[in-house]
Amino acid sequence: MRFGFRSGMMCMAPADEGGGGGGGGAGAGDGKGAGGAPDYAKQIADLTAKNAELDKKIAELSKKPDPNNDPDLQARAKAERDAADKKTAETKALENALRFNMKSEEFLKTNESLLPKDISDIFKQAEKENYSNAVEKDGAIKAGMIQSFFAVQANMDLLTPGLKSALDEYLKLTKNEKQARAQSVYESIFEPAFEMLKRIKKAEALSKGHGHEGDAETAYKNRMIALSKKHYLGEKSNGT
């Protein structure tokens, strides 16, 4: 709004229009490379820039407060801690996602006999989808893995009552909520259960075909089987 004087009277004229700041252009990065595939290099660069902003914010929060505008000390400490925690969480999430993605092929090949058949299909389908970043893709895959793995009752039976209850609550969440919490559930529920399954299968493989008794060799094998079960399953053996 402009103010002017004409014939002794003050008049107002509309402010100049146009020339305002432009919005984000079409060339703004969206974290994707050619063909719509996630551009992990750009995502890492974006995260680095975001971390730099958080470092700046933490530094500002650490400065001596303005005596005329001094927030509560507890509030300042909480704000500084929250900023640092956010930076750490975002960095860890991206690192986990990239590491998991790089090792996915090896993981599927090594554990093919232990995983439900449709888990490999989950990975294949994820490659056809468009995700905004590696963390979103990671969450979608792990959410699918958790649901597929524990749809098998034998795998569900590997859990303690407490973990079963936690998993039941997780499975009631919406799709987006499941994906957001997938990493936490993967680490605290899926991985321990999967490790137990591998130990059980290993002990079964060691004991397969060695149930005969009667000679020194068989007795030796039986003892080794008992020791294996004790090591991998925590079973107590007679006389040990």
Residues 6+ apart with CB under 8 A from 157: none
Report d(CA 215, CA 228) in Å as an integer.
Answer: 20
- 6-15 confidence digits (pLDDT tens): 444 444 444 4
Residue found under tokens 């936690």: 166
- 79-136 confidence digits (pLDDT tens): 888 888 887 878 888 888 889 989 999 999 999 999 999 999 999 999 999 998 999 9
Question: If we measure between CA atoms, which residue out of 183, 188, 107, 195 comes closest to residue 158?
Answer: 195
Q: Percent of the chain, pLDDT > 90?
A: 40
More confident residue, 219 or 56: 56
Cβ atoms within 10 Å of 60's Cβ, excluding its own? 11
Of 39-53, 73-87, 206-220, the least confident: 206-220
pLDDT at 160 over 50: yes
pLDDT value at residue 182: 95
Model confidence at 43, pLDDT cuts 50, 70, 90, reads: confident
Question: Strand, helix or coil at 12?
Answer: strand
Residues 6+ apart with CB under 8 A from 200: 232, 233
